[in-house]
Structure 1
Amino acid sequence: MRTSLFRPLRTGQVVFDVVAAAVFVPVIAFSFVEPLPTTEFGQDGVLWLGIVVTLIFASALAVRRLSPALSLVIAWVGAIAQMVALIGPQPVDVAVFGVLYVTAAYGTRVVMWLGLASAIAGAAVAAAYMVLVNAAAWPLDPFSYEWMLLGGTWFAMIVFALLLSWTTGALVRASRQARANREARDRAEFETASEQERGRIARDMHDVVAHSLAVVVAQADGARYAADADPDVAKHALGTISQTARSALSDVRLLLAQLRHRQGDGPQPTLADLEGLFSQVRSAGGALSVDVDPTPPGEPPAAVQLAVFRILQEALTNTLRHGDGRDVDLRMAWSADAVALEVRNAVDVGDHRRAHSDHGISAEDGAPVPSRGHGIVGMAERAQLVGGSLTAAPDGRMFVVRARLPVSGYATAHPTSQENHQ
């Protein structure tokens, strides 16, 4: 809540308000309506008092946006001075409308409600003042029906005009607040989208680097052992290392470019890239068996294709890092509304416990078990992003990753997914 008496304004705004108030003085001061003839100050005295009242109201206008609270106080001082001088309604009174407007439009919440109270109380005081001042001209019994009817008529006219000014300011305030809320919501949505995008890029970076390094390590170990016995095998392994490293470098550069420029995503892996992934795993020494039955009935959504590729990439990378060198079985079954994935590999019991005991996770209930790494957590997040489920857990001497990803209805079920357009 703002507690300062003065609002921060640009110099140009302050100068404009002061100049407008200065112009207000001569224009209004010389347009006074002939004051009431029966006053104790005399004709000239009333005129000079009218000029003083004009200066007071001009001061209220000069500071109306700089300090609505101070402007309201000055306006009350001017109104009281006008009534003390027994001056009737004058053109200078239009300043009150401007003061009530700014209390509602720019004042604090307290000042805004004080402006509303001032409009109602001011209307009541002005109505009573008008009835009392005109009592001689209209001889009426005090508190008679005609007397109260006259006072009620004055009150209705004055309160309508004053509340109209205050309500206009309140509408401007509400419009400005709504615009600020929209801007805050847009900023929050942008920050959320940016955070989700950074998370997606982090997952992609992890998938690319982890998979590529696993292949490079496996090939380097093979080349080291075969260097003396079979130089051709070593040369082939070095070629695979070179090709894998170049591909990983290209992917990393693409991801870094996305982080720098915050532009649309570059080309993302699709189902057509799975053969290259399988070849890399086989060339790294993995005995991979792939069973796709049935094949996709049509063209799956791009987001689902990306999720399938990244989940399989991470699962196969884990078989290279934690497997015992025996067969790796990959099964993929497509239906009209979903795709089921399963990656199964045998691991040594000791390595199995060390590598996977802390990595068991189920994305079906969204409650991952504490993990030392990010690979399986990343796979679960991939599945959740497209509305699917994933489990990764030991099954005897085997470690099994199972995922089920919806194919139909993804676009309508997840309109805000950050990977929906990929």
Structure 2
Amino acid sequence: MPTTTATTRDHRPWRLGPRGRAWFDRLLVAALVVLALGHLVSGQPAALVLAALEPLPLLWRRSRPFAVLLAVAGLSALQAVAVDTPTTGQLAFPVAVYSVARWAPRWQGVAALLVGYAGAVVAAVRWLVGFGTVDLALGNVAPYTVTIGAIVTAAWALGAAAQERENYVAALVARAEQAERTAEREVELAARDERSRIAREMHDVVAHGLSVIVVQADGARYAAARDPDVAVDTLGTIATTGRESLTEMRRLLGLLRDGDTGVAPQPGLGDVRHLVEEARAAGTVVEADLPDPVPDVPDGVALAAYRIVQEALTNVRKHAGPSARVRVRVSVGRGVEVEVRDDGRGAAAPAGDGPGLGLVGMRERAAVHGGTVEAGPAAGGGFAVSARLPL
């Protein structure tokens, strides 16, 4: 799990944190202010003041991008009146346009682009006048306007693309979170359905056991006065039935407790290994031949195979005896083949839980998927359960 987490983090894009972004903006403004000092060397105090003021609003470009654009545009307009040559402070204008396209609503980004185009025309005319150009014909103004407009367009396009990417990523994250919530609800519903099924089974077990106990207890009460030996045998039957019912009820209640099964609400082939480990922990000697890695098979077939192994191992614990050895084999080819074989008492063991309902359940699960189950005494002793589920 730590390896997976590290791999996921390595693929995430690197981004500045809140403090890093604040320091980046401060350094950007500081760099533009330092560039403005060049106007002091050239003897342009007005240009120095305006070039130093224009970048300052960029400190708030992430939180109030449109207001920053208006402030920078206003200072640029003031500069066009006071200074007739380009200044380093005008570098703040494309940064402000980028910020509006990046973090402001779409209509504000379009407005910023239009303001930038208007500023390109004003700057081109003002610079030509400052350079001593008397002829303001289209042929002279157009190159400056197109160049400045291209810079503004590039800044706006970069900001709009970044905003579009962020919105796309946010939509993907929201969709993934929604899918995760849906999956959690489906798992919860599946677990609830499984608990309801187990509750119905527990009701049947308890109702059957109690009905037998009540009938036997009534018979023992009437027989005690006439034939005490019959009453003793009947009380023994009551005790046996009560123990069996109690054991089955405890098993079903154990399945209802979270975390006791060690598997998901709908287990599959990969969870058969858990059944083997559980049987070994209970003292049963189990030899397992399981596919590794686990092949990808339909969920219904995987669940049926898991339940067949589960029921077969339960029967081994009930009937095979304490020293029985078990061999579990699961293979996947044209179908899923399951075999659970033990060397215990097998069919010679006394019946413990009624007329073979576990085997009936196995056959019913296999039949749903067009498969078969064969169960009976194994050659050389013991008991074997073989199932085949076609894919």
Provide TM-score, normalisation by structure 1. Answer: 0.55
Quickly say closer, same or farther: Cα 1:11–1:219, change in 2 above 3 A. Answer: same
Quickly say closer, same or farther: Cα 1:96–1:257, change in 2 above 3 A. Answer: farther
Shift of 1:73: 0.7
Residue of structure 1 equivalent to 2:290: none
The SS at the match of 2:39 is coil
- Percent of aligned pairs with the same amino acid: 18
Answering whether residue 85 of structure 2 is matched by residue 88 of structure 1, we say: yes
**CA distance in structure 2 between the partners assigned to 1:55 and 1:226 by the alignment:** 102
Residue of structure 2 equivalent to 1:248: 252
**CA distance in structure 2 between the partners assigned to 1:257 and 1:18 by the alignment:** 58
Shift of 1:103: 0.8
Quickly say closer, same or farther: Cα 1:262–1:14, change in 2 above 3 A. Answer: farther
Residue of structure 2 equivalent to 1:194: 184
Residues 298-313 of structure 1: pairs in structure 2 closer than 5 A: 298-299=335-336
- The answer to whether the 8 A contact 2:121-2:145 is kept is yes
Answering whether residue 194 of structure 2 is matched by residue 204 of structure 1, we say: yes
**CA-to-aligned-CA distance 1:276-303 (integer Å, 9 cap, x gap):** 999xxxxxxxxxxxxxxxxxx94289xx
- The answer to whether the 8 A contact 1:103-1:111 is kept is yes
The SS at the match of 1:270 is helix
* Number of residue equivalences: 273
Answering whether residue 125 of structure 2 is matched by residue 128 of structure 1, we say: yes
Residue of structure 1 equivalent to 2:147: 157
**CA distance in structure 2 between the partners assigned to 1:333 and 1:245 by the alignment:** 22
**CA-to-aligned-CA distance 1:290-348 (integer Å, 9 cap, x gap):** xxxxxxx94289xxxxxxxxxxxxxxxxxxxxxxxxxx99985978x94499xxxxxxx
**21, 25, 30: which is aligned to 1:17?**
25
**CA distance in structure 1 between the partners assigned to 2:206 and 2:18 by the alignment:** 63
Residue of structure 2 equivalent to 1:393: none
**CA distance in structure 2 between the partners assigned to 1:329 and 1:49 by the alignment:** 94
- The answer to whether the 8 A contact 2:102-2:163 is kept is yes
**CA-to-aligned-CA distance 1:193-237 (integer Å, 9 cap, x gap):** 111111111111111122112211221121012124222331232
Residue of structure 2 equivalent to 1:233: 237
Residue of structure 2 equivalent to 1:270: 307
Quickly say closer, same or farther: Cα 1:32–1:69, change in 2 above 3 A. Answer: same
- The answer to whether the 8 A contact 1:56-1:77 is kept is no
**CA distance in structure 1 between the partners assigned to 2:102 and 2:40 by the alignment:** 31
Answering whether residue 67 of structure 2 is matched by residue 70 of structure 1, we say: yes
Structure 2 letter corresponding to 1:17: D
**108, 114, 118: which is aligned to 2:115?**
118
Residue of structure 2 equivalent to 1:168: 158
Quickly say closer, same or farther: Cα 1:119–1:271, change in 2 above 3 A. Answer: same
Q: Which structure has the highest helix share of the two?
A: 2
Answering whether residue 49 of structure 2 is matched by residue 52 of structure 1, we say: yes
- Shifted more, 114-123 versus 153-162: the winner is 114-123
Quickly say closer, same or farther: Cα 1:210–1:338, change in 2 above 3 A. Answer: closer
- The answer to whether the 8 A contact 2:84-2:129 is kept is no
- Shifted more, 230-239 versus 178-187: the winner is 230-239
**CA distance in structure 1 between the partners assigned to 2:241 and 2:179 by the alignment:** 48
Quickly say closer, same or farther: Cα 1:231–1:179, change in 2 above 3 A. Answer: same
Structure 2 letter corresponding to 1:21: V
Structure 2 letter corresponding to 1:240: E
Answering whether residue 37 of structure 2 is matched by residue 30 of structure 1, we say: yes
Higher relative contact order (CA 8 A, sep 6+): 1
Structure 1 letter corresponding to 2:127: M
Residue of structure 1 equivalent to 2:378: none
Shift of 1:60: 2.1
**CA distance in structure 2 between the partners assigned to 1:33 and 1:168 by the alignment:** 33
Residue of structure 2 equivalent to 1:178: 168
Quickly say closer, same or farther: Cα 1:330–1:73, change in 2 above 3 A. Answer: closer
Residues 219-368 of structure 1: pairs in structure 2 closer than 5 A: 219-229=209-219, 230-254=234-258, 270-273=307-310, 298-299=335-336, 332=364, 338-339=369-370
Quickly say closer, same or farther: Cα 1:182–1:330, change in 2 above 3 A. Answer: closer
**CA distance in structure 2 between the partners assigned to 1:238 and 1:100 by the alignment:** 82
Structure 2 letter corresponding to 1:177: N
Quickly say closer, same or farther: Cα 1:170–1:300, change in 2 above 3 A. Answer: farther
Structure 2 letter corresponding to 1:203: D
Residue of structure 1 equivalent to 2:329: none
Residue of structure 1 equivalent to 2:105: 108
Task: List alignment gaps of at least 5 residues for structure 2.
Answer: 1-16, 220-233, 273-302, 316-333, 339-359, 373-388
The SS at the match of 1:87 is coil
Quickly say closer, same or farther: Cα 1:220–1:10, change in 2 above 3 A. Answer: same
**CA-to-aligned-CA distance 1:252-276 (integer Å, 9 cap, x gap):** 12457779x9999866652345679
